[in-house]
Structure 1
């Protein structure tokens, strides 16, 4: 099967400006009349929403640790009707975990090699000039399966600075597609380890348009497009995670937005019906739902509104009393508990369907890939179902009196104490679901 030509936008490390470059490229190509399909390497809920805003097309995650190869190839096929694919890497190009998962270590390089997408390395050259070429040379030689197409220099201080850097790249034979001047006004606000959500930016389109002007002015878009390539893929039936219920009421608003599109698409393909509702608007879930699913998000930022959402809370309790199932992931799990303590130490009443109490006043980062072997069902997902996903939270557990939901391990196979919990048909976990293993 012929695949659309693509590029992977990567970097030696986080924080060098690759998302700025990614958004600018997506919008600049779109403005030039090129249908461009975005992807994001690794587990990330936030960046794909920015990609969608910039390109006009939904962005999908590709994760070599959690996703079987057939699922990766099927998702990559979402770009086969585009003229160009542009994927954004995560962290440094070769950064992954020590123990491989379904098809790799989670490194962006795994995706570039599997799809045959040449890499464009974004380099922050502030504080250096010729030395940037030495860095790129190392990346070009590190893995023969990953081809470096060239670089984009970011945060260039002056024309002289650019000349010095370009001369060194000429010397080592690595193309420079462009050089971006320092533009601090183009930086997007951050929260925790990522950007503030796309929906929270009233002026997002204007910001992306500025990125596009910068990229179109300083980067050779034609040369970039000419460098794109891909490996033909054989058609494959992707393994889909079976839906946890036939009729699913899905919480969706500013507090609960972290669910992967490929998961929902898989449930719909299996015949499930998904009905969104907003706990923040004090809406009840659909009355005919078999299961209520509360995804992750930022309930701690809306704890007061959730505490006051009596209609939502009453409907949840009535759903459970009638024999319905409820599941919460991370932020959704916290909202199902007895209380959530915000960063100021104020305790807010939550749904009270589980005994969990969490605190953002006692912050500690929990981050990484996870495997979960269910000890109790999540809706129609039976015990002993094995799931792959990830965890990212700062909240700490103050109380968790209910029975554990699963055996949870990190990427190296070490058992973790935070195994989620369940009470009757109410379940919750800090684990974000990506795929079945």
Structure 2
């Protein structure tokens, strides 16, 4: 099989641009992956190549679990993995692009910014190469290059300094098709993808890239998770334009363990079916004006959820939690949980957290409860940095700011989804 990771020295270096171009180029035979817990990039990956993107996160899974996950979903000819931040960022949590590519033996392309520089580009590469000797860096692509001559100058220096690095090519500065596109964040602007892919890959040697991407796929990897018997229950998943933050493997896992999984679209005012046993509300956005306007008049959905909450189970993450509350600022929610929130200008949590049960996850939100002493289940970054309350519950209704991967969290499944 073929697999490649696109990484860089930092965020905003062009990883999403190059990943997008490669996904479109290989669109008929590619499986996209995103390293880390991000929800936005995987949505964009799927739009580009029409294949769900899989999150690879070492913090939330152990080594054997992550190896199984990558192997299980590497079902296409090519696997293209987009790194997170800079190549070594996240190493303190064992979840950097370095850690994951090393574990999975995935060759890495480093994208290097060549604007206003030439010899120093090689010095930056030397730092990346020498920081950890067992890294997977096999090639570079030079970004923001002024001309063919500029590229050849840098290429000559890198090839002189490194005998084990392939220089695959360059991306010119000021690509016309990207001039009014905020790629990676704007999921609507898709009509330019073909042109962007062509312009980004115009000076990149795809055959050479494919050659370095060849790896051996591991066979007969044993299932490393605790098995759970099939649950004779129906689960309704609130998953739509607002509540869209769902790890693809979570969706697949829920389908594996529940008798039936149905999708409910709150923005279309769909109701929770009466014979539903469990409701899972995904994270996403409900607090912004645009998102709230999509659900503020979804009265049939709201009433069916309120009715379900009387004696049945609800599990909600982040935006799902907000919707269970009374208000976000002046925006009325469902009032199933007696808690209100306000949206701040600065994020209130960002990064990896664990709860009081030791369950690991990720949180990123700008909202906070109006009463910060309400709730329970502190979300903490470390044993030394004990955090604030991040979850609320009433009867069998539970909402949390923590996003989790479910397959390895049988304790969470049994306690919260089977309550």
Report whether the alignment pairs 1:350 with 2:344. no
Distance 1:264 1:240 in 2: 17
Write out per-residue CA displacement over residues 79-131 of structure 1, whole angstroms, 9 at most, x where no aligned residue: 54422221110000111153x4xxxx211111111111111001122232221
**Residue 330 (structure 1) aligns with:** 318
- Bigger Cα displacement from structure 2, 81-90 vs 159-168: 159-168
For the structure 1 residues 336 and 282, does the alpha-carbon distance in structure 2 shift closer, same or farther, using more than 3 Å as the test? same
Displacement of 1:197 in angstroms is 5.6
**Residue 234 (structure 2) aligns with:** 247
Displacement of 1:305 in angstroms is 3.7
**Residue 388 (structure 2) aligns with:** 417
Please tell me whether the aligned partners of residues 341 and 369 of structure 2 are also in contact (alpha carbons under 8 angstroms): yes
Please tell me whether the aligned partners of residues 268 and 274 of structure 1 are also in contact (alpha carbons under 8 angstroms): yes
Please tell me whether the aligned partners of residues 115 and 230 of structure 1 are also in contact (alpha carbons under 8 angstroms): no
- Bigger Cα displacement from structure 2, 158-167 vs 4-13: 158-167
Report whether the alignment pairs 1:367 with 2:350. yes
Report whether the alignment pairs 1:283 with 2:270. yes
Distance 1:29 1:80 in 2: 14
Please tell me whether the aligned partners of residues 54 and 73 of structure 2 are also in contact (alpha carbons under 8 angstroms): no
SS at match of 1:113: helix
Please tell me whether the aligned partners of residues 108 and 137 of structure 2 are also in contact (alpha carbons under 8 angstroms): yes
Report whether the alignment pairs 1:387 with 2:359. yes
Please tell me whether the aligned partners of residues 356 and 400 of structure 1 are also in contact (alpha carbons under 8 angstroms): no
Report whether the alignment pairs 1:212 with 2:197. yes
Any unmatched runs of 5+ in structure 2?
A: 410-419
Report whether the alignment pairs 1:20 with 2:17. yes
Please tell me whether the aligned partners of residues 245 and 272 of structure 1 are also in contact (alpha carbons under 8 angstroms): yes
State how many pairs are aligned: 401
**Residue 106 (structure 2) aligns with:** 117
Distance 1:54 1:306 in 2: 27
SS at match of 1:248: strand
**Residue 381 (structure 1) aligns with:** none
Equivalent of residue 77 in structure 1, options 65, 71, 76: 71
Displacement of 1:411 in angstroms is 4.8
Distance 1:275 1:402 in 2: 33
Displacement of 1:60 in angstroms is 0.5
Displacement of 1:64 in angstroms is 0.9
RMSD of aligned C-alpha atoms? 2.4
Distance 2:74 2:299 in 1: 46
Report whether the alignment pairs 1:235 with 2:226. no
Distance 2:18 2:279 in 1: 38
For the structure 1 residues 415 and 394, does the alpha-carbon distance in structure 2 shift closer, same or farther, using more than 3 Å as the test? same
Please tell me whether the aligned partners of residues 10 and 87 of structure 2 are also in contact (alpha carbons under 8 angstroms): yes
Write out per-residue CA displacement over residues 362-393 of structure 1, whole angstroms, 9 at most, x where no aligned residue: 4434101122245xxxxxxxxxxx42210011
Displacement of 1:400 in angstroms is 5.8
**Residue 186 (structure 1) aligns with:** 178
Distance 2:381 2:179 in 1: 33
Distance 1:431 1:245 in 2: 27
Please tell me whether the aligned partners of residues 237 and 281 of structure 2 are also in contact (alpha carbons under 8 angstroms): yes
**Residue 58 (structure 1) aligns with:** 52
Displacement of 1:213 in angstroms is 0.6
Please tell me whether the aligned partners of residues 121 and 150 of structure 1 are also in contact (alpha carbons under 8 angstroms): yes
Please tell me whether the aligned partners of residues 241 and 266 of structure 1 are also in contact (alpha carbons under 8 angstroms): no
- Bigger Cα displacement from structure 2, 52-61 vs 256-265: 52-61
SS at match of 2:157: helix
Displacement of 1:275 in angstroms is 1.0
Please tell me whether the aligned partners of residues 37 and 82 of structure 1 are also in contact (alpha carbons under 8 angstroms): yes
Please tell me whether the aligned partners of residues 45 and 53 of structure 2 are also in contact (alpha carbons under 8 angstroms): yes
Displacement of 1:150 in angstroms is 1.1
Equivalent of residue 320 in structure 1, options 293, 300, 309: 309
Displacement of 1:262 in angstroms is 0.8
Write out per-residue CA displacement over residues 318-368 of structure 1, whole angstroms, 9 at most, x where no aligned residue: 1122x1111221111111110012xxxxx1100001122222254434101
Distance 2:398 2:373 in 1: 13
Distance 1:85 1:329 in 2: 29
User: Any runs of at least 4 consecutive aligned residues in structure 1 with deviations exceeding 4 A, and if so which?
Assistant: 187-190, 240-245, 400-403
Displacement of 1:133 in angstroms is 1.1
Equivalent of residue 293 in structure 1, options 259, 280, 305: 280
**Residue 128 (structure 1) aligns with:** 117
Report whether the alignment pairs 1:29 with 2:12. no
**Residue 11 (structure 1) aligns with:** 8
Please tell me whether the aligned partners of residues 44 and 184 of structure 2 are also in contact (alpha carbons under 8 angstroms): no
What TM-score does the superposition give when structure 1 sets the normalisation length? Answer: 0.85
Displacement of 1:402 in angstroms is 5.2
Please tell me whether the aligned partners of residues 91 and 99 of structure 2 are also in contact (alpha carbons under 8 angstroms): no
